[in-house]
Chains A and B, each alone.
Chain A
Amino acid sequence: MIWDLIVVGSGVAGLSAAIRGRELGRRVVVVAKGYPTQAQTAMAQGGMNAPLSPGDSPERYEEDTLKAGKGIGEREAVHLLAHRSIEAIQWLERLGMPFSRHGNRIAQRRLGGVPVARACYAQDYTGLKLLHTLYDHARKRGVHFLNNHFLLSCIVEGGEARGVTLLDIGEGSVRQLLGSAVVVATGGYAGIYGKFSTNSHGMVGDGIAAVLRAGAKLRDMEFVQFHPTALVQNSLLISEAARGAGGKIINGDGERFVDELTTRDRLARAIYEQLEMGKKVYLDITHLGEDFILSELPQEYRLARLHGGVDPLKEPIPIRPVAHYTMGGIEVDLELRSSIPNLFGVGEVASTGVHGANRLGGNSLMEGVVFGRRAGERASEVEGSGGEREYEETERDRHLIETLLARSGEGESIYREMGEVQELLYRKGGIVREEGELDGALAKVRQCQEELPSKGIGDGSRLYNTDLVAFLEYRNMLDVAEAALTAMKGRRESRGAHYRRDYPEEDRDFQAHSTLWKDNGVLYLDFKRVS
């Protein structure tokens, strides 16, 4: 069959698009790598922005977002986000979203960089509750779910998207899924930094890699937001609330070296410089007292004890900055259209230009709802024209999977090299960057890409083969890393989350978006002035 809408990814953006498609009477299928509610969205704690408070307005929201974007935020996209945010909250209310309340109103909290309480939240579980509310509603609306399927390729014929090819993880077989429109909503790529990322397992930019191989354009891939305070042991983040309440950042000598309430990028850099000098860095909340910690920071307390092996009531928590959110992604216009007709991108996987050079807290979930619904609407307008037959991409991917399975046990395992590349990306393409180091990292990534055919999987079974999935994710990780490093190298200035030690100042000539695309296997980079 040919679906009206194929949505790849089941987080806030994907489900919002799928639901909109069903509202418009389209036949919609959502593809999930695992099960829908396992999406990265579940990890979002802070909230989602909407100017509901007295004295706040869509105009102020728009200005704050543009300011955080450091001159390369797209005004039209930001305008849309800000002006549709209130109706998005009202829509979620009708779905039964259990926002926290203050009196009879939706409660709002302040997040960094914004002078008013603008973020609607649901305790510390905003993303979790949003995701489940959308999931329940998607089931009610009759969205079809295809779980445990991994995106391999976008099928493109005559320059237009016709569908996708998927690995059925449970069966170890390749299948194609055809649709009039494809919405890619697979999330960001902070997971390319591996254990140096707050993200859920497998967030390596599967959708970005697939569309890049299919010829679509990427944008602003150099912009990666690092969260300053994550547990050293496993990169789970300690919320900003801990610093907001008076938590101190100290080094191993017990010295404070930075204003704890400065912006995320400055704080991350200051902490990283200490780590580079060989010092350890800690978040000290011992002076806040047991009552406060247990009532206000219960999740942090529990996670620091379990994973960090420290008691935050008695000792400082070892921290480091790690990759948290990626502003770049598939280049899309205001209608969420990629450079390939009938192929849409939405949510963290895409770049609408809404975040510019840095994202404001509380904007990712709202982006997912506002632009997700818009993507579902635009994709529903597409009238497909492709035929129902087996496409070249399907045959090629089937050959890839069969070869990998047949050669299992022969090639070298990927895991050690993958860990090395992730650490290299953190050290050379992370918080502080410079030309020579980026060149070195890029050379290493390209060498790994070339040597990938000599690597292999150790598990030859077709049945739910997670070793095979890890290999495919590693391939994507390398492709996405190549694109990100290339853009980091090309942007010879510092702006927002992108910091170059050799070009520490903002440069007006770079008030531009980086654009990346592949042609015959070669990656190209260009800059386009902000409109």
Chain B
Amino acid sequence: MVIEIRRYHRDQDSPSTFVQYKVDPEKTLLDNLITLKEEVDPTLTFSRGCRSGVCGSCALRVNGEERLACMTRVQEGDRVEPLSVLTVIRDLVVERESSLETLDRGGAFLMDPQEIPLSEEDERLIERQSDCILCESCFSSCPVYETNPHFLGPFTLTRVYRYLVDKREGEKRGHIDRIVENGIWDCTLCGRCGEVCPMGIDPKNDILLLQSWASRYGYSNPQMASFGSYGLEF
């Protein structure tokens, strides 16, 4: 079985090329990458960690779809590429510092913790959102970055939602204030992020819920407002 891997090194004459490799269909994509590195080409560069889908290191794209290499079986003719949107450092390794900075801008933490006991229902409200492994698949899939590089992005907004609705959070407005600019109103609600999440999280839905929270605090969708002032004339 043969697959293609996009190789990239900034110092080479043609920095980006697809190279074909023979792989074992019985192994995961990650195990194949490891074998290729150890036995075929030691320069092949990728990230890896737990091999069980909880550390987020090995996220990449297969035929344009975001995947964890450790949880993916290979298919004939697969095209393997690094995550999109993020800057490629080398081969399948991307730079993640700047995307992680959205966590600070968005305020993804408990701002004013209260000593309130959580019930089973309270915990369930944040259970799925707190499964996030920060693999950044959602970030890579998000079309908003084509037009707005300052967008807070799906994983940060899901995380903000997770702390906002945490019953122990005493400062709800503080969260809303930080996500109205380059945040919840900029999302196109296309839903790609939810489709590619390996943990089954749906950031689009969390963003919709954040929008309704924002309305409760007096914010309105600026795009709807401009539409309203003209649109209602018809």
Contacting A at CB under 8 A, from B110-133, are: 110, 113, 115, 117-120, 122-123, 126-127, 130-133
Find out whether the CB atom of A200 lies under 8 angstroms from the CB atom of B26.
no
Residue pair B117, A104 in contact (C-beta under 8 Å): yes
Of A38, A140, A416, which is in contact with the most chain B CB atoms at under 10 Å from its CB?
A: A38
- The answer on a CB contact under 8 Å between A132 and B54 is no
| Distance in angstroms between the alpha carbons of A123 and B126 in the assembled complex | 12
In the bound complex, residues from chain B placing their C-beta under 8 Å from that of A99 are 118, 123
Q: Mark B91-122, 1 if CB is under 8 A from A, else 0.
A: 00100110010011000111001010111101
Q: Which residue of A lies closest to B114 (CB)?
A: A94
Cross-chain contact B166 with A236 (CB below 8 angstroms): no
Interface centre among B9, B11, B37, B43 (most CB of A within 10 A): B43
B49 touches A132 (CB 8 A): no
User: Are A34 and B134 within 8 A (Cβ)?
Assistant: no
How far is it, in angstroms, between the C-alpha of A413 and the C-alpha of B51 when the chains are bound?
Answer: 24
B31 touches A101 (CB 8 A): no
| Closest residue on chain B to residue A468 by CB atoms | B42
Is the CB–CB distance between B43 and A37 below 8 Å? no
In the complex, B178 has a CB within 8 A of chain A: no
Within 8 A of B (CB), among A367-425: 413, 415-416
Q: Are B96 and A35 in contact (CB under 8 A)?
A: yes
Q: Is there an interface contact between A136 and B28, defined as CB atoms closer than 8 Å?
A: no
A128, B131: Cβ atoms closer than 8 Å? yes
Task: Give how many A-B residue pairs fall within 8 Å (CB-CB).
Answer: 145
The complex places the Cα of A465 from the Cα of B26 at a distance, in Å, of 28
Q: Is A42 in contact with B110, judged by CB distance below 8 angstroms?
A: no
| Pairwise interchain contact B42-A234, C-beta atoms closer than 8 A | no
Kindly state the separation between the CA atoms of A105 and B117 in the bound complex, as whole angstroms.
7
Q: Which residues of B contact A39 (CB under 8 A)?
A: 55
The verdict on A529 contacting chain B, using a C-beta distance below 8 Å, is no
* A38/B90 in contact, CB under 8 A: no
Q: Say yes or no: B119 contacts A104, CB within 8 Å.
A: yes
| Complex contact B49–A201 (CB within 8 A) | yes
**In the complex, A100→B41 CA distance in Å?**
45
Assess the A95–B9 pair: CB atoms within 8 A.
no
In the bound assembly, the distance between CA atoms of A140 and B105 in angstroms comes to 10
Does B39 interact with chain A (Cβ within 8 Å)? yes
CA of A99 to CA of B124, assembled, Å: 10
B28 interface neighbour in A96, A122, A306, Cβ under 8 Å: A306
Known: A94-B113, A96-B110, A200-B49. A101 touches B118 (CB 8 A): yes
Give A158 to B6 CA distance when docked, in angstroms: 50
Q: Is A457 positioned at the interface, with any CB of B under 8 Å from its CB?
A: yes
Kindly list chain A residues whose C-beta atoms are within 8 Å of the C-beta of B89.
170, 463-464
State whether B31 touches A306 (Cβ < 8 A): no
In the complex, A103 has a CB within 8 A of chain B: yes
Q: What sequence of 0s and 1s flags, for each residue 63-96 of chain B, a beta carbon within 8 Å of any chain A beta carbon? A: 0000000010100000000000000011001001
Chain A residues positioned under 8 Å from B37 (CB to CB): 466-467
User: What is the chain B residue whose CB lies nearest that of A147?
Assistant: B97
Inter-subunit contact A42/B168 (CB<8 Å): no
> How distant is the Cα of A43 from the Cα of B96 in the complex, in angstroms?
21
A459 CB-CB contact with B under 8 Å: yes
Decide if the interface of chain B is mainly helix, strand, loop or mixed.
loop
Q: How large is the interface on B (under 10, 10 to 19, 20 to 34, 35 or more residues)?
A: 35 or more
The answer, among A94, A95, A458, A464, for a CB contact under 8 Å with B45, is A464
Contact B168 A93 (CB under 8 A): yes
- B42 & A128 in contact (Cβ 8 Å cutoff): no
A466 is contacted by which of B45, B104, B122 (Cβ under 8 Å)?
Answer: B45
Q: A93-B168, A98-B123, A137-B109 are in contact. Are A464 and B43 (CB under 8 A)?
A: no
Q: Which single residue of chain A is at the shortest CB-CB distance from B111?
A: A140
A416 to B37, CA, bound (A): 12
Closest residue of B by beta carbon distance from A97: B130
When distances are taken between beta carbons in the complex, the residues of chain B under 8 Å from A201 are 48-51
Contact partners of A200 in chain B: CB under 8 A: 49-51, 55
Alpha-carbon separation in the docked complex, A147 to B169 (Å): 30
Which residue of A37, A42, A93, A96 is within 8 Å of B109 (Cβ)? A96
Decide: B109 and A463 in contact? CB cutoff 8 A: no
Residues of A within 8 A of B90 (CB): 461, 463-464
* Chain A positions 55-106 with a Cβ under 8 Å from a chain B Cβ: 93-96, 98-105
Contacts of B132 in A (CB 8 A): 132
A42 pairs with B50, CB closer than 8 A: yes
A139 interface residue, CB < 8 Å from B? yes
CB of B56 within 8 Å of the partner chain: yes
Cα distance A415–B41 in the bound complex, in angstroms: 12
Contact check, B113 vs A96: say whether CB atoms are below 8 A apart: yes
Q: Once the chains bind, are A43 and B54 in contact (CB under 8 Å)?
A: yes
Contact string against A for B residues 154-183, beta-carbon threshold 8 Å, 1 for contact and 0 otherwise: 000001000100101100000000000000
Bound complex: CA A98 to CA B120 (Å): 10
Q: B209 to nearest A CB, angstroms?
A: 17
Q: Which residues of chain B are within 8 angstroms of A465 by Cβ–Cβ distance? A: 45
27 contacts between A and B (CB under 8 A): A37-B133, A38-B47, A38-B50, A43-B54, A93-B115, A96-B113, A101-B123, A102-B120, A104-B117, A123-B127, A128-B54, A128-B133, A132-B132, A136-B159, A137-B109, A139-B109, A140-B110, A201-B51, A303-B52, A415-B38, A415-B39, A459-B43, A461-B9, A461-B43, A463-B10, A464-B89, A467-B37
Interface residues of B (CB under 8 A from A): 9-11, 26, 28, 31, 37-39, 41-43, 45-52, 54-57, 71, 73, 89-90, 93, 96-97, 100, 103-104, 108-110, 113, 115, 117-120, 122-123, 126-127, 130-134, 159, 163, 166, 168-169
Given contact pairs A34-B49, A94-B115, A104-B119, a sample of 7 additional A-B residue pairs in the complex whose CB atoms are under 8 Å apart:
A38-B47, A38-B56, A42-B133, A99-B123, A125-B131, A127-B54, A136-B108
The 9 closest A-B pairs by CB, nearest first: A458-B42, A415-B38, A140-B109, A96-B110, A459-B43, A467-B42, A464-B90, A136-B109, A101-B120
